[in-house]
Chain A
Amino acid sequence: MGEVWLTIGVLAVATATIRASGPVLLGGRDLPAVVRGVIGLIAPALLAALVVVQTLSVPEGGAIDLDARILGVAAAGGALVLGASTLPVVALAAVVTALVRALA
């Protein structure tokens, strides 16, 4: 049980520090234009990577997992292209994934 509380305590401090780092070190000041140019591209880079990792990786990492989630997220992408809004798109992803798993 000591291991559990040690893990929680260290991770709590580390997570709060990590979340504070960018805002404390780089916030509240004007940055050079070239830095702002890079910073403005972090959101598309990270968000695209999150979609890929959460669709294709096994939860513990280290391996690609080709499973029903891919079809669910692909269906969501199709619905988005057709102009559907967030809630139906997200629900469709879960329903398609569940259906494919049930049939497989």
Chain B
Amino acid sequence: MYLEGGDTEARGQFRSGVRIGLPYAVASLLLAISFGVLAEPVMGPVAPIVMSALLFAGSAQFAATAVLAGGGGAAAAIVAGILLNLRYVPMGIALAPSLRGGPLRRAAIGQTMIDFSWAAASRGGGRFDPAFMMGATTPAYPCWVGGTALGVLAGDLIGDPAALGLDALFPAFFLCLLVEGELRPGVPALVAGLGSLIALVLIPFTPAGVPVIAASAAALVGLWRSD
């Protein structure tokens, strides 16, 4: 829908993105089932599915739900969710120069950003492939919403996600994308090291979400050095 009719190259990139996105979609399905199971007692059966359909943002959904479950109230839940999603600001800034078309079209493409597809569509040196990103997001969306519904309706299909090591799936995916795509020798590797150090130091002292946003400041090394 976002692709120009005659743009066969973009169509090919979209299809490549879908293929890359399939294994991530399976991991998303498993995580979404556990979200549905956790959220149903807090929100009832309908709200978790609506939340997954409208937000499509795992960490923010888990965080906001945990606050509500703990009796923290809407304001605290909203702040927790926004903090975890604020990383989409630097992610969108990185994506922006690769986008063509008017502001509405660019805003629509921005809605298809998830961590995995954004990172998988990075081509180094600040270039992104938007068609590839949209393709990589496409299988994950129905899995995220459908998995939430499965968790709400069918209950605990997968048992304890931690016992199955499922919480290691996502950092492992991101590690693959980092090592295979972004960790080019020189300045990018230096910035990755600095970013991870900033995040590590801030984890004990800041709310969830802040370490990752703050780590994007490591990119400011580019003011002095680039290659």
Contact = CB atoms under 8 A, between A and B. Distances in A.
Q: How large is the interface on B (under 10, 10 to 19, 20 to 34, 35 or more residues)?
A: 35 or more
A37 B97 contact: no
Contacts of B113: 19
A60 B166 CA distance: 17
Interface in B157-203: 162-183, 187-189, 191-196, 198-200, 203
A77 B122 CA distance: 20
Contacts of B118: 43
Interface string A9-52: 01110111011111111111011001011111111111111111
Contacts of A93: 165, 168-169, 171-172
A69 B222 CA distance: 32
Nearest to A13: B54
Nearest to A86: B176
B117 to A, nearest CB: 12
A5 B68 CA distance: 11
A44 B171 contact: no
The winner among B44, B62, B223 for most chain A CB atoms within 10 A is: B223
Contacts of A19: 85, 88, 92, 110-111, 113
Contacts of B90: 22, 42, 46
B165 A28 contact: no
Interface stretch (B9-17, B139-147, B148-156, B205-213): B205-213
16 contacts: A18-B82, A22-B92, A28-B102, A28-B103, A30-B97, A37-B226, A42-B94, A42-B219, A43-B94, A43-B122, A50-B174, A62-B204, A63-B203, A64-B203, A93-B168, A94-B168
Interface of A: 1-8, 10-12, 14-16, 18-28, 30-31, 34, 36-57, 59-64, 68-69, 72-73, 76-77, 80-81, 86-87, 89-90, 92-99, 101-102
